């Protein structure tokens, strides 16, 4: 069997009108418009199997949303191949959207003036969801996401977390095989985030729903995803398991020491340069240590290193023993 999602050599360049500052440039601009090309997605490839749940992350402007928009058929790619569940997203739109669900955290597809439930009814109509299936899904989702209290309220009266849960339900009522979530937890409090994470995991487990999930929140990734794709400036910089990233890039270890005189010492070491046993020997020779703890870097620290290009640097450029 093939992959559920196949992306090969995907590119999207935006043409942006250059904005000049001075009057002279403005006048000149009237005659000759200048454009700048922004390579939002620049040759990205990956494959995702049915039932996988993949975290798609990268700094602001990395190209996450542009990729999601191409995958969901909202945007045409400039180059490359795209296949989702046997469809080419930007072709056969009508058939294709029945197979997918899309949630944009920063945009709602709910009707602001109508009670939430009526937006759901509209989805039933648009997607031609059989009544039985609709009721089954609605009942299940509303219960899982704890929405009984506000389902009859107009959307404009909902909190962000409530509205987001509404958007998720609206996108999943037709039981899509693939769901794209673009920052579904942005701006939410911990409780709402947990509800959404639990729900996404549940859908993946019980329905084998294939999921791509963009986020800024490392907790989302660690709690929900098995696999991580990191992009930066339109390029893929990592694709693998979360465990792998930890072992592969966790060269930086932090040692916390409690000294005999009661003071605390914290030092960070690059274990590629100095093996840990040597580090320990040196520390014990140097200090009167009462207690010691060695800490692995957090996943978000590792990812920050990847974004900032530090993992690609030569080991010499990173200090060995330093305070
Ligand atoms: N409609 C657009 N027109 C021009 N440039 C855009 C447009 N949408 C996004 N961009 C630019 O493309 C790059 C990638 O944007 P985006 O895909 O939204 O990144 P992300 O979701 O990772 O923050 C950014 O530099 C952004 O400014
Ligand atoms: Mg985005």
- The values of phi and psi at residue 20, to 5°, are -90, 160
The single-letter DSSP state of residue 43 is: E
Interatomic CA distance for residues 242 and 230, integer angstroms: 11
> 267-271: which pairs have CB atoms within 8 A and are 24 or more residues apart?
267/321, 267/322, 267/323, 268/322, 269/320, 269/321, 270/315, 270/318, 270/319, 270/320
The pairing of beta strand 5-17 with beta strand 35-48: antiparallel
- Give, using CA atoms, the residue closest to atom 3 of ligand 1: 14
* Nearest atom in ligand 1 to 231's CA: 22
* Nearest atom in ligand 1 to 69's CA: 17
Residue 122 Cα, ligand 2 centroid: separation in angstroms? 27
* Nearest atom in ligand 1 to 66's CA: 17
| Residues having C-beta closer than 5 Å to ion ligand 2 | 64-65
Contact 17, 34 (CB under 8 A): yes
Interatomic CA distance for residues 323 and 289, integer angstroms: 16
- Per residue in 72-110, pLDDT (tens digit) is 999 999 999 999 999 999 998 889 999 999 999 999 999
- Within 10 Å of residue 167's Cβ, how many Cβ atoms? 23
Axis crossing angle, helix 190-207 with helix 160-172, rounded to the nearest 10 = 10
Whether 58 is in the pocket of ligand 1, judged by its Cβ within 6 Å, is yes
pTM: 0.84
Tokens of 185: 């937890």
Chain mean position to CA 187: 14
> Which of 269, 254, 323, 263 has the alpha carbon at shortest distance from 288?
263
- Give, using CA atoms, the residue closest to atom 7 of ligand 1: 14
Contact 173, 134 (CB under 8 A): yes
Tokens of 227: 């696999």
Angular region, 9: left φ>0, alpha ψ -120 to 50, beta rest: left
pLDDT of the chain along its 323 residues, tens only?
689 999 999 999 999 887 666 666 666 666 666 788 999 999 999 999 999 999 999 988 999 999 999 999 999 999 999 999 999 999 988 899 999 999 999 999 999 999 999 999 999 999 999 999 999 999 999 999 999 999 999 999 999 999 999 999 999 999 999 999 999 999 999 999 999 999 999 999 999 999 999 998 888 988 999 899 999 999 999 999 988 887 777 788 889 999 999 999 999 888 888 888 999 999 999 999 999 999 887 777 788 877 777 664 333 333 333 33
Domain with CATH 3.40.50.300 in the chain: 5-241
The fold for domain 5-241 equals: Rossmann fold (3.40.50)
Which positions ≥6 away from 19 have C-beta within 8 Å?
A: none
The pairing of beta strand 235-241 with beta strand 227-232: antiparallel
- Give, using CA atoms, the residue closest to atom 2 of ligand 1: 14
Q: Which residues pair with 87 in a beta bridge?
A: 84
Interatomic CA distance for residues 193 and 220, integer angstroms: 8
- Within 10 Å of residue 320's Cβ, how many Cβ atoms? 15
Interatomic CA distance for residues 148 and 186, integer angstroms: 23
């Amino acid at each position: 069997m093939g992959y559920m999602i196949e992306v090969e050599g995907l590119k999207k360049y935006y043409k942006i009108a250059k904005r000049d500052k001075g009057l002279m440039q403005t006048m000149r601009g009237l005659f000759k418009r200048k454009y700048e090309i922004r390579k939002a997605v620049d040759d990205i490839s990956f494959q995702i199997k049915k039932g996988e749940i993949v975290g798609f992350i990268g700094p602001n402007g990395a190209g996450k949303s542009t990729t999601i928009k191409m995958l969901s058929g909202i945007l045409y790619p400039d180059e490359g191949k795209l296949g989702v569940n046997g469809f080419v997203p930007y072709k056969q739109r009508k058939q294709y959207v029945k197979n997918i669900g899309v949630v944009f955290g920063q945009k709602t597809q709910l009707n602001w003036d109508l009670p939430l439930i009526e937006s759901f009814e509209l989805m039933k109509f648009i997607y031609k969801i059989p009544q039985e299936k609709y009721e089954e899904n609605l009942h299940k989702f509303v219960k899982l996401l704890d929405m009984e209290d506000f389902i009859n309220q107009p959307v404009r009266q909902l909190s962000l977390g409530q509205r987001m849960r509404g958007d998720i339900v609206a996108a999943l009522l037709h039981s899509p095989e693939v769901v794209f979530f673009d920052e579904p937890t942005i701006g939410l409090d911990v409780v709402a985030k947990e509800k959404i994470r639990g729900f996404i995991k549940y859908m993946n487990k019980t329905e084998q729903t294939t999921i791509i999930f963009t986020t800024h929140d490392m907790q989302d990734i660690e709690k929900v995803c098995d696999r991580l794709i990191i992009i930066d400036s339109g390029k893929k910089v990592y694709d693998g398991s979360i465990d792998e990233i930890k072992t592969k890039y966790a060269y930086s270890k932090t040692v916390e020491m409690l000294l005999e005189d009661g003071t605390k010492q914290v030092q960070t070491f690059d274990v590629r340069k100095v093996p840990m046993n040597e580090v320990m020997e040196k520390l014990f020779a140097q200090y009167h240590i009462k207690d010691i703890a060695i800490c692995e870097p957090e996943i978000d620290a590792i990812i920050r290193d990847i974004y900032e290009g530090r993992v690609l640097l030569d080991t010499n450029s990173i200090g060995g023993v330093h305070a």
